Structure 1
Amino acid sequence: MEDQTYEDAYDAWRSALATLLGDAPLLASWQERRYRFAHRVGALLTEPAGEGPATTGPVLYGVFSSGAGLCYVGQTQDAGRRLRDLPVGESHHLANTLPPELWERVVVIRWPLLLPAAPAGERTAVREMGMKNCGLALEHMLQIETSPPLNSRRRRSAGDWQPRNLARSRSRGALGSSSLPGLGQLVSAAWKSLAETMLPEDKAVVDTGVGRVVFPSAPETLQSD
């Protein structure tokens, strides 16, 4: 029965898209509506919000859906560009698999702001490793801790998927992660706080300074669609 329910839902999705894309004007309307929504989400992720500053520079980020929970964890050195593109999907694969209309929340951590609280030896390690390698190391640590499904497999040229053993990875991030245990703990605590933040009644963004959580499915985000 579960397999049949899944197939029924897939057929309903294809049927709904056939209606939405039924002719050239409908296709244009679909394109406009989806970009309008993705643009709003990108603005919520990056622009100043209340007392919170604009989101720029190196960050860690994660996307949650209401059903699957945390789906993806990533990092970037250019949050202003990457997070605006994240829901649009022009240079990032995520929106192709998980439409932003179904995102329950996006968590963003401005991890460099946690450096003053990190052990002195780790601050030295950050300078020696460089910001990009540190971002990759923290990304790896967070992926190990949370096991997001879209980070846990890779596509194969045969047309199927192969599991990724993140714990045995020899990537730059994996190799550098052992140098930053204290900073990793600070990131984890900030992450958990934002991941558990409740949806406010009157806004779609909560910014703590160190990071923010955006609720794409909040009425304030959806209201003009």
Structure 2
Amino acid sequence: MSDQVHEDAYRAWRSSLMTLLGDASLLARWQERRYQFAHRVGALLAEAHEDSCVTVGPVLYGVFATGSGLCYVGQTQEAERRLRDLPVGESHHLANTVPPEVWERVVVIRWPLLLSEAPVSEQMEIEAMGSAVCGLALEHMLQVATTPPLNSRRRRITGDWQPRNLTQSRSRGAIHSQRIPELGRLAIAAWKALAEAEVPKGAAVVVSGVGRVVFPSALHEPRGT
């Protein structure tokens, strides 16, 4: 995309927002519509669906946007809270930059369900390091494997961005990831399967044995004027 095309698109986006927020009643309508959509996405991510139970506890998650693909990979120990908030953006920065209305899919992996397939030696390592550290380690491994752009830079106080070399990170997750290579492989394999899942006809979620993928792109419906 050329600089001029980018600038034109930015101006069109800003102009559209100014129309949508043209007065107090339109602002309220915009707020209601955005929250309704975000709430619907959060419910699909966290609530029980068909034969699957509520998504709780530790998970890995990632957001794909239409066009740019995988944008962000994260982890949480409280899926029941974080996944609902992810599209709302009250305590998570992602929705401020990539609105949920343009999310193509969200992949969620409940990695503790993979533990029984990991070697006994790694299961002992995981018990010793604890769930929180293991989640950080898996997050790091998945970020290195997928290089999502919003994980590959950090904000600076000078107002610009600094690249992050994920492979040379000395974070807790990076350090401990060396202790669980097979669990990491299992998690990445489960991730790839859901990341490549087809959008189901007449539905917006696909559930697997260790996670789910939600398709916000399938939720858009025409509205009457």
TM-score under structure 1 length normalisation? 0.97
Alpha carbons 1:87, 1:95 under 8 Å: kept: yes
Identity of aligned residues (%): 70
Which aligned runs of 4 or more in structure 1 are off by greater than 4 angstroms?
Answer: none
Distance 1:5 1:149 in 2: 21
Distance 2:222 2:40 in 1: 10
Q: Matches of 1:14 and 1:216 in 2, distance apart?
A: 23
TM (normalized to structure 2)?
0.97
In the TM superposition, residue 50 of structure 1 has moved relative to its aligned partner by 1.2
How far is 1:3 from its partner? Answer: 1.3
Q: Which residue of 2 aligns with 1:222?
A: 220
Rounded to whole Å, the distance in 2 between the matches of 1:222 and 1:57 is: 29
Matches within 5 A, 1:33-52: 33-52=33-52
CA distance in 2, matches of 1:57, 1:128: 18
Correspondence for 2:182:
182
Aligned residue in 2 for 1:197: 197
Match of 1:73 in 2: 73
Match of 1:131 in 2: 131
Letter aligned with residue 84 of structure 2: R
Give ranges in structure 1 of 5+ residues lacking alignment.
Answer: none
Superposition deviation, residue 222 in structure 1: 2.4
What is the match of residue 157 of structure 1?
157
CA deviation vs aligned residue, 1:36-79 (integer Å, no higher than 9, x gap): 00000000000011111111000000000111100000000000
Distance 1:48 1:222 in 2: 21
Displacement of 1:202 in angstroms is 1.4
The alignment yields a C-alpha RMSD, in angstroms, of: 1.0
Shift of 1:224: 7.6
Paired residue type of 1:135: G
Contact 1:53-1:209 within 8 A present in 2 as well: no
Q: CA deviation at 1:121?
A: 0.5
Q: Which amino acid aligns with 1:49?
A: H
Per the alignment, residue 22 of structure 1 pairs with 22
Residue pair 1:42, 1:83 contacting (<8 A) in 2 also: yes
Counterpart position of 2:108: 108
- Gaps in structure 2 of 5+ consecutive residues: none
Do 1:71 and 1:149's aligned partners in 2 also have CA atoms closer than 8 Å? yes
